Amino acid sequence: ITDGLRDGDVVGVAVQQSDLPMIQFLVNGEPYHELAINRFRGTVYPSIQLPPLSPESRITAELVFEEEDFQEESPHARFGPVIVARGII
């Protein structure tokens, strides 16, 4: 996904937590279907990996978790805010 990214681009991650959970990636609000993850299991933790750069280069990332601060809308109504996993007793 890093190929072709430019300064100021927004990479979004949408997580659908339902019976058929999925993760979808977006670049500037457009779905990046090649990286969609369908029907995953287990706990998911938010994380990023930044590519190695030369010492004189610089890369930054800003993580936004509050929905009111998002620059783009959710790709579909079924993608809602992340909810805390709870065990069934």
pLDDT digits (tens, 9 = 90+) for 24-60: 888 888 888 888 888 878 777 778 888 777 788 777 8
Query: What is the spatial distance between Cα 25 and Cα 44, in angstroms, rounded to a whole number?
Result: 14
What span, in angstroms and rounded, lies between the C-alpha atoms of 7 and 33? 22
pLDDT of residue 85: 63
Q: Is the Cα torsion angle 32, 35, 37, 38 positive or negative in sign?
A: positive
Does the model's pTM come out above 0.75?
Answer: no
User: Are the CB atoms for 74 and 13 separated by under 8 Å?
Assistant: no
CA–CA separation, 57 and 67 (whole Å): 31
CA–CA gap between residue 70 and residue 81 (Å, rounded): 11
